[in-house]
Each structure stands twice: as C-alpha cells, then as structure tokens.
Amino acid sequence: MERKQRPTVVKSTHEILIDQLKTNLGHLSAVIEEQGKALFVEAGILGAQDVHEYTLEFLELFVMWLQAGSRIGARTPELAALEQFFSGFARQLQIRGARLETFVRYVQSLQRVLIEELEESEQYSFEQSREVLLLLARVFNQLVLDVFQAYLREKEQTIELQQEELRQTSTPITEIWDGVLTLPIIGSLDSSRAMIVMEKLLTRIEKERARVVVMDVTGVLAIDSQVSHYLIQMVRAIGLMGAEAILTGIRPDIARALTSLNIDLGNVTTRGTLSDGLKEAFRRLGIEVRVVARE
C-alpha cells in the first residue's frame, strides 16, 4: 500500500489539532452533537437545541484553547474558560437529574471523536499522533477531574447543609406556658449538637424570660458519660441564666448505666416523664392545674 508523503514542515501538537478542526469542523461538530443527543436527548436530560448550543460552545472554546500556541500546556485563561464551560455544563446536567457518569461518558466521547478523526488522517507521523493523543488525554482527564472535585465539593456542602438543617429542626424549644420551656432531645447528643442546643436554649431563656426549662430525654437512645456531661453542662448553664432545669424521661436502663458510670445527677431535678416534669414546673411557679368537672 502506498503511503502519503509526510509534510516537510514539522507541526506542533496544537497545530495538528487546529488543522484537523479547520478541515473537518462541520463533520466533527455533527458527530459530537450526535453523541450528545444520544446521551442526553434520548434520556430526556437536555433538548436537541441545548446539545447543539453546548457543542458549538465547546468547539469554540476548544479552538481558542488550541490557539494559545506554545502556552498550551500551561494554565492559560483559555484553559480556564474551557474548565468553566465543563463545570457549568456538569452543573446543568446535575440540576436536570443526570448522573456524573453520564457527563464522564460524554467527555470520553468527545475525546474519542477527536482521536478517531486523527486516526483517519494519515498525514501525521506516529510520534505526532502520539503527542496529540497524550495532550488530549491529559487535558480531558484534567477537565473530568476538575468537574469531579467540584461535584464532590457540592455534595459535601449539601450534606453539611442537610445536617445543619436536621440539627436545627431536631431541637424544638417550645414555650409551653408563660415562663416554661420544653426541650425534647431526640437521637444522639454529640459535641456539636450539644453546643447548638445550648446556644438556642440560653437565647430562648433570655428572650422568653423563662423560669423553668423541662428537658426531656425520652428520645435519646443512649446516655454515656460524654452525653451526661453535656446534660450536666446544660443544667448548669440554665441555672446561670437564672432559670431552673428539670430533666425528664431517663429510662430505667439508662439510669442503671449512669450509676455504673458513677455519674451523679444529684444536683439535677429529675422526673420520670415529661408530664411529671411539667407538673413540677407548674408547682414551682405556683400554678395549679385542675380537672374541671363537666356537667
């Protein structure tokens, strides 16, 4: 088989890619768009017009990046623009419910299209083709990695926000009577949650001018020495604010565990149930709750 004459001028990697794009821009654009449609339009993630616009934008930014010339390997503004495009694109896909792997498959398909075009052309030497392949692999891997890192960061932020929301909503402090606050604690009580609960509680005591706080721990699954320490701190903080604390809902198994841990709640007023705690709070305020006999 007769081989074509190699060009006498040795072209750099980016020049080869620019040549290729110039020659086959229409074809490349069509193939990339087709790949995009297969991945996104058929799955109902993007419309055909969206894919068309994203394809054009990608090609435009890709050409701009190639035109950076000798600075192509460096972190140029053109590369930053390309990264920004992919980050925005990935975010749009996420918003529309696509999985990250769909995005990765799309980036791989872009890379594959460019490589296949290069393979079809026989005008470049093995070394030149290899250089182009390496450059494309490096850039696209970096782009995927950037997007993946951004995706992870966003996920972490979402989880943190959800945890914060859960913490805020899991400590409903209610003024059940004038000067009486109730605080049902549900779930586990770790350091950060204890901190939030205490801050919110002390602020509410000041705001409501509360005199008694009933803390109900019926919903706390286990109380170890650390949790009991937090509870004692809360009781002390309530006392420092000038209010009185009543601890209710300590289950028998928890009471047994506390004694085995040598934790002394001797200075803390305790009652078996929230109802008993409220009765005690009312008694301290001189409030009497009576059943009014019906006729």
Partner 1 sequence: MHLTPIGDGALLLEPGVALDPSEPDHYLTTILELLAERGCQRLIYDLRECVVVDEIYYGWLTRLASACRICGVEMVVANVQPAAAYTLARRLSDDPPFRCFLDVDRARCG
- Nearer to partner 1 among residue 82 and residue 214 (C-beta): 214
Q: Residue 226, interface with partner 1 (CB under 8 A)?
A: no
186, burial (CB in 10 Å: exposed 0-12, middle 13-18, buried 19+):
middle
Q: Kindly identify the residues of this chain, within the stretch 255-284, that bind partner 1 according to CB under 8 A.
A: 267
- Nearer to partner 1 among residue 66 and residue 202 (C-beta): 202
- Nearer to partner 1 among residue 11 and residue 204 (C-beta): 204
- Nearer to partner 1 among residue 115 and residue 198 (C-beta): 198
Considering only 136, 205, 213, 274, the residue that binds partner 1 (CB under 8 A) is: 205
Amino acid at position 153, single letter: R
11-20: b (≥16 Cβ within 10 Å) or e = bebbebbbbb
- Nearer to partner 1 among residue 39 and residue 231 (C-beta): 231
Q: Residue 203, interface with partner 1 (CB under 8 A)?
A: yes
Q: Residue 211, interface with partner 1 (CB under 8 A)?
A: yes
Helix (H) or strand (E) holding 83: helix 77-95
Residue of 89, 66, 92 lying closest to 79 (CA atoms) = 66
- Each residue 158-197 as x (binds partner 1 by CB under 8 A) or -, in order, gives ----------------------------------------
Per CB under 8 A, which region of 107-115, 131-139, 209-217, 274-282 contacts partner 1?
209-217
Considering only 236, 253, 264, 275, the residue that binds partner 1 (CB under 8 A) is: 236
Name the token pair of 123. 């005008």
**CB neighbourhood size of 261 (10 A):** 12
Residue 212 and residue 244 in contact, taking contact as beta carbons nearer than 8 Å: yes
Q: What is the CA radius of gyration of the chain?
A: 34
Considering only 41, 81, 196, 241, the residue that binds partner 1 (CB under 8 A) is: 241
- Within 8 A by CB and 6+ apart from 281, the residues are 177, 180, 212, 214, 246
Considering only 132, 173, 189, 202, the residue that binds partner 1 (CB under 8 A) is: 202
Considering only 18, 186, 198, 257, the residue that binds partner 1 (CB under 8 A) is: 198
Residue 276 and residue 248 in contact, taking contact as beta carbons nearer than 8 Å: yes
Residues in the chain, total: 295
Whole-number Å distance between alpha carbons of 90 and 96? 10
Question: Minimum distance between the CB of residue 240 and partner 1, rounded to whole angstroms?
Answer: 4
Residue of 215, 280, 228 lying closest to 254 (CA atoms) = 228
Q: Residue 206, interface with partner 1 (CB under 8 A)?
A: yes
Binding site for partner 1 (CB under 8 A): 198-199, 202-203, 205-206, 209-211, 233-234, 236-243, 267
